[in-house]
Amino acid sequence: MTEQDINRLLAKLPQLKQEIQKIIVGQEEVLDEVLITMMAGGHGLLEGVPGLAKTLLVRTLSNAMDLGFRRIQFTPDLMPTDILGTEVLEEDHATGKRFFKFNEGPIFSNIVLADEINRTPPKTQAALLEAMQEHEVTYAGKTYFLPKPFFLLATQNPIEQAGTYPLPEAQLDRFLLYIKIKYPTEQEELNILSSTTGTRQAQVQPVISGEEVLMLRQLVREVSISDELLGFVNQLVRATRPDSTSIDFIKQYCRWGAGPRAGQALILTAKARALLHGRFAVTVEDITTMAYPVLRHRVLVNFAAEAERITPDRVVDELLQSIKLPKEVLV
């Protein structure tokens, strides 16, 4: 890409945010994290109580991008074939021969919304694993490739857990970021009431294409990060493991730490955040900011922590306070 191509591409990021903000009021941090997930080429898990516009956010994002979009409502009776697709027996009218034809399921789209993913049984949840990691689907011994770019956003409700199926830790690790949506501020809620109860309806225009998303993902990987910051990320991730950490808080309250995928996710999302803010080099702030959504679903607290209401975010707080930055970075 030429410098002109890069500038034109980066200019579309604020335009993309502006289009989404025509519908979504506030939630700046959440919006940034969703865009970072898309730019880094990963998948996101959004958690929030009902009515915080989780589904609306994903649908608005798809409208602001010139990409295919499918929504899957996860229910207790949903089957893997309802997501992936199935083979049907068809007949060739010219020859009279019968053959099996694969009918693609809703997973075959650029942006897929897995709505209330924890309301479906584990076997159906597991149907997403190959698609999320390999960007392909295997059915009846044949491999079918998903369209590029492929981007899955799943939502779940933290309350009303009766009749739900929490995602296994191994599947949680497939999500690049675990994004928590909080209640809006008083002014934001007032703006929501004003903008959604009248007759005016905002129209969202697509500003970025699939090809440009792929270019953006390549550009993210070209953002530079110093060796000192790479070492800091490595120390941060390794310190989450209670069997080898030197931090007493982790030994006391964690039963499982993050794997190497967490370090990869932290570096890629830090690079994407830097690019989102118009920088071509990662800073300490990029890493410390992204540590929370990267690690909160990869660090498992024990019963003692749950009894004392110590959350994974509190664990990340302790990590950032305990691990000192190299002097080269502080200068």
Count, residues in the chain: 331
Q: What is the pLDDT of residues 40-98, one digit of tens each?
A: 989 999 888 777 778 888 888 888 888 888 889 988 888 888 888 888 887 777 777 88
Write out the two tokens for 256: 């499982």
Contact 56, 204 (CB under 8 A): no
Cα 301 to Cα 109, 180, 216, 308: the distances in Å are: 36, 18, 36, 11
Q: What is the Cα–Cα distance from 316 to 210, expressed in whole angstroms?
A: 35
Find the Cα–Cα–Cα–Cα dihedral 133, 177, 70, 118, rounded to 10°. Answer: 90
Residue 331 has pLDDT above 50, yes or no: no
Contact 143, 136 (CB under 8 A): yes
Q: Reply yes or no: is the peptide bond before residue 149 cis, omega within 30 of 0.
A: yes
Q: What is the pLDDT of residues 11-41, one digit of tens each?
A: 888 888 888 888 887 788 888 999 999 999 8
What is the predicted pLDDT for the residue at 306?
85
Contact 150, 132 (CB under 8 A): no
What is the predicted pLDDT for the residue at 329?
57
Cα 64 to Cα 13, 67, 252: the distances in Å are: 11, 9, 46
What is the predicted pLDDT for the residue at 64?
87
Write out the two tokens for 250: 């982790």
Q: Indicate the pairing of strand 136-139 with strand 85-91.
A: unpaired
Q: Quick one: residue 51, left, alpha or beta (phi over 0 = left, psi -120 to 50 = alpha)? A: left
Matching residue, tokens 């997973």: 107
Residue 264 has pLDDT above 90, yes or no: yes
